[in-house]
Amino acid sequence: MAEERPAALARIQTDSVVEMLRDFYPDLRFEIVAMSTTGDKILDTALSKIGEKSLFTKELENALERNEVDLVVHSLKDLPTSLPPGFTIGAICKRENPLDAVVFHPKNSGKTLSLLPEKSVIGTSSLRRAAQLKKKFPQLEFRDIRGNLNTRLKKLDEKEDFSAIILAAAGLKRMGWENRIGQLLSPEDCLYAVGQGALAVEVRAKDQEILNMVSALHDGETVLCCIAERAFMKRLEGGCSVPVAVNTMLKDGQLYLTGAVYSLDGSDSLKETMQTSVNYPQRNEDGPNDDVQHVGITAKNVPGQAQEAAESLGVELASLLLSKGAKHILSVARQLNDAC
């Protein structure tokens, strides 16, 4: 039984996971249960202001705990880096494009951000996007926009409030709206959110049967990239209310992680890149370390040493930024955001 939030994107994401599970287990029957979360209901406040870390997850975890559902499909970027006791991420599916995308008002079709008139208003619900883009495009104005994808696109198209909005490319692609992407923001323009573009399946940590079942969906490369990103975020104690951004790449057995923190207006920032080898063989070790979690993720079919290396990479990169003053940048950003 899979469960998700009622917005169209959540349904599409859940359907795609159930489809993959059906391919692996054609004899099993899956029932989808739609539920709302606090984050879905509070649409008049910026996400960064609400301050609840489990905004999109609490109600769903309650249903898991009561055995009303057996697995929950999330956008990984909605999941806190520390899950409540008794839960784990049992699968991370192959990542969709993690980059951010610009969708333009029809009258600006064919333009890029740099070609928009001065003082053009850009909509985004993300402090991370706003901080980076304010620095890069100081001639533009950035305003908060909330609501699901459909709502945001409607606000863009039917009113004159926004010249463009910034959204995750992955969500647009999953919704079949790739043709609305007017500009993809490269990591040089805008580093993405931790876990962006990846789907996660949350399960009860002690439910071995379900854990074994969903583990077939793990994509090894995505798992290692996301462990590094989540470890980086956790060490920084980042979240929705501060601008933290990443870019990861796995190439020839080397995992590269770029991480950055920003002040709210992007004027102050720290950015560094580190790498580590994740080229380790898979060992078949049954024992007490069987269900070890790395930043909330259980992935027995991904080499344990590679997961440890990925987690260490995230922690070390965050520690490097902290040694250069990241804590001050983030605490000022947090205070300013609370005061706004």
Cβ contact 151:167 at 8 Å: no
The pTM for the full model equals: 0.91
Give just the sign of the alpha carbon dihedral 120, 246, 55, 202: positive
Q: Tell me what the mean pLDDT of segment 195-204 comes to.
A: 97
Distance CA 230, CA 296 (A): 9
| Percentage of residues in the chain having pLDDT higher than 90 | 77
Distance CA 149, CA 195 (A): 18
> Is 161 one of the annotated active-site residues of the chain?
no
Q: Which fold has domain 7-97+194-339?
A: Double Stranded RNA Binding Domain (3.30.160)
Name the strand (E) or helix (H) holding 49: helix 47-50
Q: Is the pLDDT of residue 8 over 70?
A: yes
Assign domain 100-184 to a CATH class.
Answer: alpha beta
What was the pLDDT predicted at 62?
87
Cβ contact 279:298 at 8 Å: no
Q: Is 226 helix (H, G, I), strand (E, B) or coil?
A: helix
What was the pLDDT predicted at 2?
54
Structure tokens at 192: 């993405």
pLDDT, tens digit (0-9, with 9 covering 90-100), for 206-219: 999 999 999 999 99
Per domain, the residue ranges of the chain are 7-97+194-339, 100-184
Tell me which of 15, 44, 70, 78 is the catalytic residue. Answer: 78
What was the pLDDT predicted at 47?
44
